[in-house]
Structure 1
Amino acid sequence: MPVPATPQEPEQVVRRREWIVFLFLTFVVAPAMAVAIVGSYGLGVWIYQMIAGPPTG
């Protein structure tokens, strides 16, 4: 994880670090969280249907 900026660091270094963190969160963490949430929901439905039986209509 990035280290917090210290008062001695130039503004350009801080701004570059912020962009790197933003891009990491946008293109790595957000998609991974979306896949994990949807996958967990699907697994939960699948397990529930194994116990309760398939939906009837």
Structure 2
Amino acid sequence: MSEQPSKAEERNTFLFLAVVLAPVLAVGLVGGYGLIIWISQIFLGPPAG
């Protein structure tokens, strides 16, 4: 069987996910959405209103 991860490994994994991966994904998703909106406005024009 596989051995269980130690508490230090679990803590380090959690810190990596919470401090590094989550903010990077959030910035990437919001930035990607903004880029899609910007590109669509270049081709389709500004929103009507």
- The normalised TM-score by structure 2 is 0.88
Report runs of 4+ in structure 1 exceeding 3 Å deviation.
none
Cα RMSD of the aligned pairs, angstroms, is 1.6
User: Shift of the alpha carbon at 1:34?
Assistant: 0.1
Q: Which residue of 2 aligns with 1:38?
A: 30
Q: Which residue of 2 aligns with 1:49?
A: 41
Structure with greater contact order relative to length (CA < 8 Å, sep ≥ 6) = 1
Q: Which residue of 2 aligns with 1:29?
A: 21
| Max Rg structure | 1
Letter in 2 for 1:51: F
